[in-house]
Structure 1
C-alpha cells in the first residue's frame, strides 16, 4: 500500500544546487518546503567520490570568489572556498607561461611591469627530465610580449568593471567568432583566451553565446577561481543541512507533477500548493512535456595520485597547444589539502568530451608533456565521464529563461540561466522569488548580501 500523503506549501523535485538554493530562500521566508531526490544523496552533478582519503569530483566545475549568489544564498555561511593562484598557467610552445594575473595599480607603467612578470616561466617542483615536446606549428610567439600582456590586463580590467546588464545587451554571436572580431592579437586569443574560456565553459569549440563568455570573463577578472573545501558536494550538503529536519528526502522517485501535487513511484502522493521542478534538463522534460532540452557538453575527469606534486603552485594549468586530450589540469591537493591524505598529491585533469581511446595511457602521456615530468608511477584513482555535464548555450541564449510556467508550476536549473554554479544558484533564486510572489508570502531581499563564504 502507498504511504499516506504528505503536506507542504511547496514540493521541490530535485536536490541539486538550484533546488536546494530555492528551498533555502523559501524556508527563510516561512514557506514550508519538501525536497524530493531520486538519488541516494543530494547534489546532482555536484558529486564527490571518497576513495582512500581522496575526494574526487565527478565534473570538477570552478567557482569564482566574485559569484554574488555565494554571498546571497541562505545556508552558505559556512562554505569555505579554496582559491587558485591569481591568473593561470598556460602550456604553449612546450613551456609554461603565466597569464591573466591582475595588473598593478600604477597605471600604464605598472601594467607594463606586471606584464613583463607574467611571461616569466613558473618555478617547478623539481628539476625533472623534460618530456619530448611536439613540434610547434604556430607562427606567433606564445602569449605575446609585454605590450600584449599589458593590453590583456587592461582588457580584463575593463571587463570586470562593466555592469552585467550592459554585457547582456551586447550583440550576440558564438564566443569563438566574437574573440576573433575584437581586435586582440591572435597569440593572445589562441594562447590565453580560448583555452581559458574552454575551461570555464567546458566548450572546446567556443560555440557558446558571446554574452555568456563575457560573463565568464567578468567573473574571472573580478575574482579568483576557487573550489569548495572538501569537494564539490560541500556546497549542496551545506544547503541541505541548513534546512529543517525531514525537509530533504532522498531515494524518492517522482513520476508526475501537477500544480498541487507530486506523485512518486514508491512513496505515494505529496500534496502541496505549488511544485518546483529543479532537476536536470532531460529529467525536467520528462515531467514537463514540451520543455526544451538543450544539447550538452560532455566532460571526463581523470584523478591521479603521486607521492610528489609535479607543481609547487596552487595553479590551474591550461593547454594552449591542444596536442592531447587534456584541456586543463591542476594539482588539486595544492589548492585544497583536504582532498588528499597527507603525503600524497592529487592531480585532477579534465578532458572536454568523451574519454580518448586507451584513455589512461593517452592522458598520462599528455600530462607528462604538460608538467614536464614522468607520470609512469602515477596511480589512476578514478575516471568519471558525465555525458550531460554542462548545458550547451549557443546563441541566441536567454540567460534569464522563464522559471514560472504557470501559477503553481515552476522550473529551475542551470539550463534556465547560465551553465555554471552561479547560474544554478541564481535560477533557484529567481524561482523562489516567483513562488513567493504567487503565494503572497514575504521575500528574501536580493539587494542585501549575506555574510561572504570564507576564502582560504
Structure 2
C-alpha cells in the first residue's frame, strides 16, 4: 500500500487523481481511488441526471440512457462554471444491476472525461424515481479560485465603465466609451477576444482560415458591419451562389436541384408561397397579434398555416437552421420577430445580394473584434477574467468582482453576455424578477460546425454549389466556405437542433466519422470520386460554458409578451444589457451584436453626461 501525506497536496492548483491501493491484489480498474481538490476552491454539486432528451423523452434502452445521462451531467457541470476535468467524484445508480451492462457505463465515462476520470461509485438499486428510468448520475466538482494572472491583493481599480464580455457587442461598447473619453475596462471570461466569432487556420498547408462561429455579413442591410470591414481593411469574399444543390427530405430519397430553388413538387410550391407570405404579412408589433403568436409554438403556427406534411417539415427547418432550436418548443412570436429583424425569410436564407450569407471575411470574423480591440486603451482588456459578482450601492457605485480576485468599481456596468449566462453572476441587489425569468426561461439551441478541408474544391468541378439540405442528419445543411486566394478549400457542415444533441453523445472521432460518411453518401449521388479531407475541424458551442449554445438564444411561448420579454434590453439601475439577442435589428447576427453594443454604450454615455450636468 502506498501512503500519501496531506502535505503532498497542500498547495495543489488542480484536481489530483491517484490510486494509492493499486496493486495486482487491488487493481485500480482504470480509475482513481482518490481525488484531491485544489486549495482555494469552491464546490459545485449537481442533482441526479438521467437519460432524458430535449423533447422530454426518456430513452428506451439502458445504453442510450447512460449516454444521455452523461451528456446531461456534462451540461450541468459546465453550467455551474466548472470544467469536466474539475469533477472530483461521480455517483451512479443502476436499477437491477447487471455486470454485462457495465461496458456502456465505462465507455460513456471515458467519452466524457477522457484521461481525467474522477473518483466514482456505482450503486445498484431496486428502482429510481420513475419506473422507466434505469440509470442516474450526479457529480461534485470544484472551482479553482487561484489566480494565474493577477494577484488578488492588487488594489481595486476605479473606472467610469466596466464592460463584461469581449464579443462583438462588448468590444463595440468599449470602443464607443473610448471615443467618448470615458475610462473603462473590458473583462472577458475566455482566453480570447471574439465571443461567437472564432476563426481558426484551416490546415497546416497554408494560412487560410475558417470560421467556427459567425461567418457572414452583407453590404446593404448589414451596413454597420460592412462599414466596419472597410474601416478595418478587411477583405470580402462573395459567397458562391451557382451550381446544383442536394436535397433530402427522407433517408434514401436524395436528389439534386438547381441553385436557389426550394425543392418541392408543383402542388407543394403554392403551399410554400403561402407560408412565406404569412410570415411576411404578419405584424408582430400589433399587441393582439403578438399575444396570439406568443401563445403558440412555431410548429403550431405552421400547422395552422398549411396541411402539407412536407411543407410543414420544410418550414420547421427554419427554426432549426436559424437558432438550433426545434420549432416544437420556441415561441412563434420570437421566431417571427427574429425573421422580421433579419429583413424577411427570403433574405435570411439567401446567399445572394442582400442575403444573410452574402459575404465572408478572408481574414475570418474574429478579425472584427480583435482589430477593433487594438484601438482600445492599452491594458484595458483583461482576458481569462470571469466576473462573479456585481454589487450596486445606493450611492451609485458599482463593484465588480472577478474569479481571479481582481475587483473594479465603476459608475456603470455594461453586460455583454448571453441571457442564459446571467445566472453565473451574483447580483446584489438581485436582478428583478423579470430579468431572472428571462434568464431562466431562455432556450439555448444546439449549433455546431464540422468543417471539411480539402486540397481542391472537387464539388465545383462537378458544378455543385456546395449546398446540401437534409432533414436526416447529423449534418442539416452545408455551405462552400473556400478562400481561393489562400488556396483554402472547405465545406462547412451545420449540425443543429435535436439531431445535433443526439450526435453530440458520440465521441469526437465518431462524430467526425458520421459527418464525413454522410457527406460522402450525399455528394456521392453526383460525384463519382470524392477525396478524403486533409483536415476536419469541429466546434460544439453548447459545450462552451460562457456561450452555452448558439447561434442565438430563443424564448418559449408566454415569455416575450410578459414583463420578462419587455425587460430584454432594459437597464437595471446602473447595469446595461447588450448582446445580439437584445437588438431589434438583425437579432442573433453579428450586425445585431454591433448595434446593441453601440446602443448600450450610448445609454451609458448619455446617463453619465446627465449626471455630470446635474
Same fold (TM over 0.5): yes
Counterpart of 1:363 in structure 2 is 515
1:96 — aligned with what?
256
Superposed structure 1 runs of 4+ greater than 6 Å apart: 72-76, 160-164
The answer to whether 1:439 aligns with 2:608 is: yes
Structure 1 315/441 Cα, relative in aligned 2: closer, same or farther at 3 Å? farther
**Is the alpha carbon distance of 1:304 and 1:279 closer, same or farther for their aligned partners in structure 2, counting shifts above 3 Å?**
same
Q: Where does residue 447 of structure 1 map in the other structure?
A: none
Q: Tell me how far 1:325 sits from its aligned partner.
A: 0.6
1:178 to 301, 308, 319: 301
| Paired residues of 1:59 and 1:299 also in contact (CA < 8 A) | no
> Which position in structure 2 is the counterpart of 1:190?
313
CA distance 1:211–1:8, shift in 2 (3 Å): same
Q: Please report how far the alpha carbon of residue 305 of structure 1 lies from its aligned counterpart in structure 2 after TM superposition.
A: 1.7
Which structure ranks higher in relative contact order (CA pairs < 8 Å, sequence separation ≥ 6)? 1
Partner of residue 391, structure 2 = 258
Classify the secondary structure of the residue corresponding to 1:251. Answer: coil
Q: 1:83 to 1:174 in 2, by over 3 A?
A: farther
Which structure is larger by alpha-carbon Rg, 1 or 2?
Answer: 2
Secondary structure of 1:207 counterpart: coil
* Structure 1 residue 35 corresponds to structure 2 residue 201: no
Greater Cα shift, 352-361 or 6-15: 352-361
Residue of structure 2 equivalent to 1:59: 213
1:317 aligns to 2:487 (yes or no): no
Change in CA separation of 1:311 and 1:185 when aligned onto 2, cut-off 3 Å? farther
Partner of residue 144, structure 1: 265
Q: TM-score, normalised by structure 1?
A: 0.72
Contact 1:58 1:386 in 2 (8 A): no
* Equivalent position SS for 1:144: coil
Structure 1 150/69 Cα, relative in aligned 2: closer, same or farther at 3 Å?
same
Could you tell me how far apart the structure 2 residues matched to 1:252 and 1:8 are? 17
Report the Cα offset of residue 367 of structure 1: 0.7
Alpha-carbon shift at residue 365 of structure 1 (Å): 1.8
Among residues 150, 159, 162, which one is paired with 1:8 in the alignment? Answer: 159
Pick closer, same or farther for the CA change 1:283–1:154 going to 2, 3 Å.
closer
Change (3 A) 1:90 1:397: farther
1:237 CA displacement: 1.8
Partner in structure 2 of residue 123 of structure 1: none
Q: Does 1:381 align with 2:536?
A: yes
Matches within 5 A, 1:52-451: 52=204, 53-60=207-214, 62-63=216-217, 67-68=221-222, 70=224, 77-78=231-232, 80-85=235-240, 89=245, 91-92=247-248, 93-98=253-258, 101=260, 118=261, 142-145=263-266, 149=269, 165=285, 170=290, 171-172=292-293, 173-183=296-306, 186-191=309-314, 193-205=315-327, 207-214=329-336, 215-216=338-339, 218-222=343-347, 223-224=354-355, 225-226=357-358, 227-259=360-392, 260-266=398-404, 268-289=406-427, 291=436, 292-293=439-440, 294-312=442-460, 315=465, 317-320=467-470, 322-333=471-482, 336-337=483-484, 341-342=486-487, 344-352=488-496, 353-354=500-501, 355=503, 357=506, 358-372=510-524, 373=527, 374-375=529-530, 377-387=532-542, 388-390=548-550, 391-398=553-560, 401-417=567-583, 418-440=587-609
Q: Distance in 1 between matches of 2:511 and 2:216?
A: 23
SS for the counterpart of 2:389 is strand
Cα distance, 1:266–1:197 mapped onto 2, change above 3 Å = closer
Alignment length, in residue pairs?
A: 395
CA–CA separation in structure 1 for the residues paired with 2:289 and 2:479: 35
Query: For 1:296 and 1:383, how far apart are their aligned partners in 2?
Result: 19
Task: State the Cα distance separating 1:327 from its structure 2 match.
Answer: 0.7
Residues 582 and 596, structure 2, Cα contact 8 Å, conserved in 1: yes
Unaligned runs of 5+ in 2: 1-150, 348-353, 393-397, 543-547
**TM-fit CA distance, 1:329:** 1.0
CA distance in 1 between counterparts of 2:227 and 2:421 reads 25
Q: Distance in 2 between matches of 1:41 and 1:168?
A: 44
d(CA) in 2 for partners of 1:375 and 1:206? 37
- Aligned counterparts of 1:69 and 1:428: Cα–Cα separation in 2: 15
Q: Structure 2 CA distance, aligned partners of 1:439 and 1:325? A: 50
- Matched residue of 1:258: which SS? strand
Aligned counterparts of 1:8 and 1:143: Cα–Cα separation in 2: 58
Cα contact 1:201–1:213 (8 A) shared by 2: no
Deviation at residue 164 of structure 1 after TM alignment: 7.7
Give the direction of change, closer, same or farther, for the CA distance of 1:46–1:29 in structure 2 (3 Å limit).
same
Q: How far 1:266 sits from its partner (Å)?
A: 4.1
Q: How far off is 1:39 after superposition?
A: 2.2
**Which runs of 5 or more structure 1 residues have no equivalent in the other structure?**
102-117, 120-141, 443-456
Q: d(CA) in 1 for partners of 2:280 and 2:190?
A: 38
Residues 167 and 211 of structure 1 are in contact (CA less than 8 Å); yes or no, is this contact kept in structure 2? no
In the superposition, relative to structure 1, how do residues 337 and 244 fare at CA in structure 2: closer, same or farther (>3 Å)? farther
Q: Deviations over 1:381-427 (max 9, x none)?
A: 32222212222332235366444443222233345454443443343
Q: Which residue pairs with 1:448 in the alignment?
A: none
CA distance in 2, matches of 1:169, 1:238: 43
Partner of 2:94: none
Q: Deviations over 1:238-264 (max 9, x none)?
A: 432343433323233433222323223
Task: Quickly say closer, same or farther: Cα 1:268–1:305, change in 2 above 3 A.
Answer: closer
Distance 2:310 2:191 in 1: 47
Distance 1:406 1:155, change over 3 A: closer
| CA RMSD after TM alignment | 3.8
